[in-house]
Amino acid sequence: MSEQSYIALIAEGTLKNITEIILGTGEKDKYNALMSKAYPEGQNIRGAFGYTFLEADAGISQTYMENTPAVLYFRDARPRHFRDKGKLMPVMKENKFVNYRCTSCGDNIESPTYMNKIVSIKLDRKTNSVASGAFVKHEAILGRSIFDFRVALNLKRGKEYASEFIAAVEKFSNEYIRLGKRRNKGKGLFTLEDVKYSTVTLNDIKKRAEALKKKDKLIMYFFSDIVVDRKITVEMILRSIKNCAKFMHPEYESYNDPSLKIFSNTLPIKKIVFLDRKEGISQKVIYENIIPKGGVVKLQVKDASTMFWEALALTEAFMGIGKRTSFGKGEFKIF
């Protein structure tokens, strides 16, 4: 197969919120307000696409089934810096918190978006009056923000779904995309603008693999949460890299794992909730352990094959480390 073999079809663009956004975390703050994420994560966008595929009875919806290999890989929609529109990178502060650093101007900020409290009111349908305990406080994204949008289609496993994928992107581009809670009340309304399509070839991956191989230091900076069993391990990293190569590399050949040592600097583990689609069950609630975004893992690699370096380049570009990488989890960049 030629080095120009196509590996992935990528759709990129810009999300802009028109209304307030409530992206519930399932937690409450000290004021008893339901907390929200500071920006849409890959799993939020994945869900919006999934419902669209289901409504259209599209074949690609079958790849959302539990224990079915994914063909779409969604990234978190990180916001741009409100001052200079630079990209924001999650970083740890004092080994306790996640802050954000602008890659353009270097500013460090606590929250990447403007967030505050809003109150929703529930009416009693029988009396048409305010129900008891009906005032609910939500944390929400209030200010207008610009977010990066990126989804990749695995062409090795999902080439036949390319037209359905593009149709969904174009639908959201021509209409709106709704994310988060209280969508039927007008919340979470976004426009998807400046959509561009591109492809990644095997030659692109080989070039990145050569660059990684020549680095004196390999430092993974994690841009999203990492779904783990208990912690990041050598076995987890090696397994993630090999699985990515099996799923995406058009000329994959089995290889021996290199000698690998890791040095992790991450925040404490926590739990989050996922809703899975399962045959016969519309929503299945699953709790997973995650290591919050902003962590750093240093790698020492010895005796690595060419296929390993290409697998690492693929993992960096598309899948990430750990579980639920199609949801945007485990995204990293090696600097």
Tell me the pLDDT tens digit for each residue of 43-80.
Answer: 999 999 999 999 999 999 999 987 788 999 999 999 99
Residue 94 lies in a domain: no
Q: Is the pLDDT reported for residue 97 higher than 80?
A: yes
- Checking if the pLDDT of 108 tops 70, the result is yes
pLDDT over 90 at 92, yes or no = yes
Quote the pLDDT of residue 125: 66
> How many C-beta neighbours within 10 Å does residue 178 have?
18
Q: Residue range 263-276: average pLDDT?
A: 86
pLDDT of 104 strictly over 50: yes
pLDDT at 160: 97
Is 74 domain-assigned? yes
Average pLDDT of the residues in 275-287: 62
Q: Is residue 324 one of the residues assigned to a domain?
A: yes
DSSP letter for each residue of 17-45: ESS-B--EEEEE-TTSPEEE-SS--HHHH
Which residues in 163-280 belong to E strands, given as ranges?
Answer: 177-178, 189-201, 218-222, 226-228, 259-265, 270-278
Q: 88 or 119: which carries more pLDDT confidence?
A: 88
> Side-chain half-sphere of 62: how many Cα atoms within 13 Å?
6
Average pLDDT along the chain: 91
Of the candidates 305, 309, 269, 268, which has an alpha carbon nearest to the alpha carbon of residue 287?
Answer: 269
Asked if 198 and 306 count as a contact pair (C-beta separation under 8 A), the reply is: no
Calculate mean pLDDT across residues 139-153. 94
Over residues 255-259, mean pLDDT: 97
Domain assignment present for residue 163? The answer is yes
Q: Which of 220, 196, 217 shows the shortest CA–CA distance to 313?
A: 220
Radius of gyration of the chain (CA): 21
Strand order in the sheet with 296-302: 259-265, 296-302, 218-222, 332-334
pLDDT surpasses 90 at 271: no
Mean pLDDT for the stretch of residues 257-285: 79
With bands split at pLDDT 50, 70 and 90, how would you rate the model's confidence at 248? very high
> Is 281 a member of any domain?
yes
- Residue-wise over 99-127: b if at least 16 C-beta within 10 A, else e? bbbbeeeeeeeeebbebeebebeeeeeee
The answer to whether residue 104 is domain-embedded is: no
Q: Is the pLDDT score of 279 beyond 60?
A: no
116 — pLDDT class (breaks 50, 70, 90): confident
Range of the domain at 258: 6-79+113-334
Distances (CA, A) of 223 to 96, 237, 297, 320: 16, 16, 12, 10
The average pLDDT across 114-127 equals: 76
Long-range contact pairs involving 237-240 (C-beta distance under 8 Å, separation at least 24): 237/262, 237/297, 237/299, 237/321, 240/315, 240/319, 240/320, 240/321, 240/322, 240/325, 240/330
Tell whether the model's pLDDT for residue 276 goes beyond 70.
Answer: no
Lowest mean pLDDT among 94-98, 125-129, 275-279, 326-330: 275-279
Give pLDDT, residue 183.
76
Q: Fill in the DSSP letter of residue 106.
A: -
Residue 312 domain-assigned? yes
The answer to whether the CB of 63 falls within 8 A of the CB of 158 is yes
Angle 19-21-23 (CA atoms, 0-180°, nearest 5)? 165
| Residue with token string 């699953």 | 286
Among 71-85, 115-129, 185-199, the least confident range: 115-129
pLDDT tier at 128, thresholds 50, 70, 90: low
Count the domains in the chain. Answer: 1
Question: For the segment 204-229, what is each residue's pLDDT rounded down to a tens digit?
Answer: 999 999 999 999 899 999 999 999 99
State the Cα–Cα distance between residues 232 and 235, nearest whole angstrom.
Answer: 8
Predicted local confidence at residue 186, as pLDDT:
75
Q: For residue 88, give the nearest of 323, 312, 294 by alpha carbon.
A: 294
Residue type, 105: C
73 belongs to a structural domain: yes
Would you state the pLDDT for residue 78? 97
CB 6 within 8 A of CB 200: yes
The model's pTM: 0.90
281 contacts 67 by C-beta, under 8 angstroms: no
Q: pLDDT category, 187, cuts 50, 70, 90? A: confident
pLDDT value at residue 94: 85
